[in-house]
């Protein structure tokens, strides 16, 4: 808008000069000097307009060169990002795993991996995950060059999976506390009734036909509750019938990942990826580059008061 105003002002000034000269030919001062021949005036106007066009051309070329050089500088500082999926057990090479809330990661829990394949760091990173009519934000202080970070999202499907799995094979302290309470009810109600919710959870994984095996594993576990391997049979049952089952907790098939960050030359950037056919595809038409005139609202991306999200490791 500013450049347009400058160009418009310049055109108006040139036209004004031409009008003044044209009408001024009838003034007394030009009568004294002589009006000149038509050929002379045609030559004058031709040279005058030619000079203006030459100046405009030089200005345009210079401005274009400056813009290209500036864009080259900014583009060289932008990182190259790809997104993949993995699980916690496969993330030995991942330095940090983040979540939007305090969370204990399970070995088989799915993780979204953000890979920075360039030599350029990313600062004040804001990740926005949109899925199942839900929006989840993750904030990271920085992502180093040639490094990967993992993100655990709190999908309702994953939460439900973990809840059911925690009933069948309790791993967390609160799950084991609940398991212990049910053990105390066995004398009064029997195993099947005391652990009815646990047995119902088998249907979630389509292994309700293994109910008798599960009850037997509970029976042996409760008898050996005082030894260190008290949950070993439940783990074996889970590994055999659930973790090898096709119904595993997965990241939603339709998820949109928006990445906001600041480069080393303080340019704000927005990148968008959408999960299509189990791959995260870059959405070029939704990209925002501050150097190319894109603007960022305070609500969309503000770096003035950003605090890093929960770090699991």
pLDDT tens digits, one per residue of 270-283: 999 999 988 999 99
Calculate mean pLDDT across residues 15-24: 62
Average pLDDT of 250-264? 93
Interatomic CA distance for residues 313 and 305, integer angstroms: 23
Poorest-pLDDT segment among 47-51, 197-201, 207-211:
47-51
Q: Looking at residues 17-46, what average pLDDT do you find?
A: 58
pLDDT over threshold 70, residue 292: yes
**How high is the pLDDT of residue 204?**
87
pLDDT tens digit string along 54-99? 777 766 666 677 676 677 788 899 999 999 998 887 777 787 889 8
What pLDDT does residue 17 have? Answer: 67
Distance of alpha carbon 97 from alpha carbon 112, whole angstroms = 9
User: Looking at the predicted structure, is the pLDDT value of residue 266 above 90?
Assistant: yes
Mean pLDDT, to the nearest integer, of 116-144? 94
- Separation CA 94–CA 147 (nearest Å): 8
- Residue 233, token pair as written in the block: 């049979």
Note whether 22 and 45 are within 8 A (CB).
no
* pLDDT of 49 above 60: yes
Give the pLDDT band (50/70/90) at residue 100.
confident
Structural tokens at position 263: 């480069």
For residue 239, the model assigns a pLDDT of 86
Q: Is the pLDDT of residue 232 over 80?
A: yes
Residue with the bigger pLDDT between 216 and 6: it is 216
157-166, 217-226, 303-312: least confidently modelled range: 217-226
Q: Which residues pair with 38 in a beta bridge?
A: none
% of the chain exceeding 90 in pLDDT: 37
Of 147, 158, 110, nearest to 125 (Cα)?
147
pTM across the whole model = 0.67
Please report, for the chain, the start and end positions of each structural domain, with discontinuous segments joined by +.
2-76, 82-155+251-311, 158-241
Predicted confidence at residue 246, as pLDDT, reads 47
User: CA-CA distance, 201 to 170, in Å (whole number)?
Assistant: 12
Phi and psi at 86, nearest 5°, equal -155, -165
What's the rounded mean pLDDT across residues 207-220?
91
DSSP letter at 26? T
pLDDT at 92: 77
Residue 108 pLDDT grade (very low, low, confident, very high; cuts 50, 70, 90): confident
Whole-number percent of the chain with pLDDT over 70: 75
Q: What is the model's pLDDT at position 38?
A: 55
Between CA 88 and CA 156 the distance in angstroms is 18
- Tell me: pLDDT of 36 over 60: no
Average pLDDT, the chain: 82
The fourth-level CATH superfamily of domain 82-155+251-311 is Immunoglobulins (2.60.40.10)
Q: Which two tokens stand for residue 261?
A: 């960050």
- Residue 152, pLDDT > 60, answer yes
Q: What is the pLDDT of residue 3?
A: 60
Cβ neighbors of 142 (< 8 A, separation 6 or more) are 121, 122, 123, 124, 125
Q: Reply yes or no on whether the pLDDT at 234 is more than 80.
A: yes
Residue bearing the bigger pLDDT, 261 or 229:
261
């Amino acid at each position: 808008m500013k450049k347009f105003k400058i160009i418009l002002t310049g055109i108006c000034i040139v036209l004004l000069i031409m009008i003044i000269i044209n009408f001024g030919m009838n003034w007394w001062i030009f009568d004294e000097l002589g009006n000149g021949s038509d050929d002379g005036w045609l030559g004058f106007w031709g040279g005058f307009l030619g000079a203006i066009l030459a100046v405009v051309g030089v200005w345009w070329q210079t401005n274009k060169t400056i813009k290209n050089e500036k864009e080259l500088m900014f583009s060289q500082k932008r990182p190259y990002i790809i997104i993949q999926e993995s699980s916690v057990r496969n993330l030995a090479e991942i330095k940090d795993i983040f979540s939007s809330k305090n969370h204990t990661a399970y070995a088989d829990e799915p993780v979204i991996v953000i890979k920075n394949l360039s030599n350029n760091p990313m600062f004040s990173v804001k990740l926005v995950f949109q899925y199942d009519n839900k929006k989840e934000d993750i904030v990271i202080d920085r992502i180093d060059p040639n490094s990967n970070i993992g993100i655990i999202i709190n999908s309702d499907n994953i939460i439900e999976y973990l809840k059911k799995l925690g009933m069948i094979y309790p791993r967390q302290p609160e799950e084991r506390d609940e398991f212990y309470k049910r053990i105390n009810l066995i004398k009064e109600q029997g195993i099947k009734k005391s652990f009815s919710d646990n047995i119902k959870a088998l249907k979630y994984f389509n292994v309700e036909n293994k109910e008798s095996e599960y009850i037997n594993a509970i029976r042996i576990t409760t008898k050996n509750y005082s030894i260190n391997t008290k949950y070993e049979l439940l783990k074996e049952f889970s590994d055999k019938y659930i973790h090898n089952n096709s119904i595993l907790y997965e990241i939603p098939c339709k998820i949109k990942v928006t990445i906001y960050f600041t480069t080393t030359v303080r340019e704000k950037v927005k990148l968008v990826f959408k999960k299509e056919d189990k791959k995260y595809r870059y959405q070029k038409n939704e990209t925002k580059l501050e150097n190319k005139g894109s603007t960022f609202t305070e609500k969309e991306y503000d770096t003035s008061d950003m605090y890093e999200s929960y770090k699991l490791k």
